[in-house]
Amino acid sequence: MKLHDFRELERLPGAAHPSVYRVRYACACGDDHLGLLSHDELDWAPLGLRPSLFLNLMTDRLEPLQDEFGDLAARRIGAGEWPWSFFCYPEERPRPMFPSMFWLLAPGTADGSIGVAVRCPACLNVSINIVSPEHVDVPFHNDAAVGVVRHVFRDDALRSIERFEAELYSASFDARRLELH
């Protein structure tokens, strides 16, 4: 299973450390199934890192909780590269993100593309981006440009995957560059 097979992520109430997400994913058998993943498994395991970093929303930088940077991923993060990013439409700017910030995913209309609904960690609005599967699956692979739905979604506007897919197939998109800082 790859990240782009995820269809819906929901953070479960209650469990705090680590938080737990219920993930609906597209299985090879053709059906969707549910699974549980911890925050660590979602965000840090793909990077081969233990959770020793935090996302500073003031600077959009990942910053170490400890001083030791051991491996390549940590060095790239230390150099200001973002493992995952998306374009926040209400803010008109790229933002760093983590897999746990995905909300809804679905195959897009273009060949092999993936539509993702992401809740922005800074402004809390939801943006829909059209990206490549690699943009979702491969840490530090960021598409040079992504499709962005020209619409600001409120929290309750995309209640179901069906609504999301309807938006995905009917909406008009702009291309936005994901410039990395």
Nearest distance in Å: CB 68, Zn ion: 31
Contact residues for Zn ion (CB under 5 A)?
Answer: 27, 29, 88, 91, 120, 122-123
Report the residue number, 74 or 103, with the smaller CB distance to Zn ion: 103
Nearest distance in Å: CB 94, Zn ion: 10
What phi, psi does 171 have (nearest 5°)?
-75, 160
Nearest distance in Å: CB 90, Zn ion: 6
Nearest distance in Å: CB 29, Zn ion: 3
Report the residue number, 45 or 122, with the smaller CB distance to Zn ion: 122
Report the residue number, 27 or 157, with the smaller CB distance to Zn ion: 27
Interstrand relation of 20-26 and 6-11 (parallel, antiparallel or unpaired): antiparallel
Report the residue number, 54 or 169, with the smaller CB distance to Zn ion: 54
The residue written with tokens 């929901």 in the block is 10
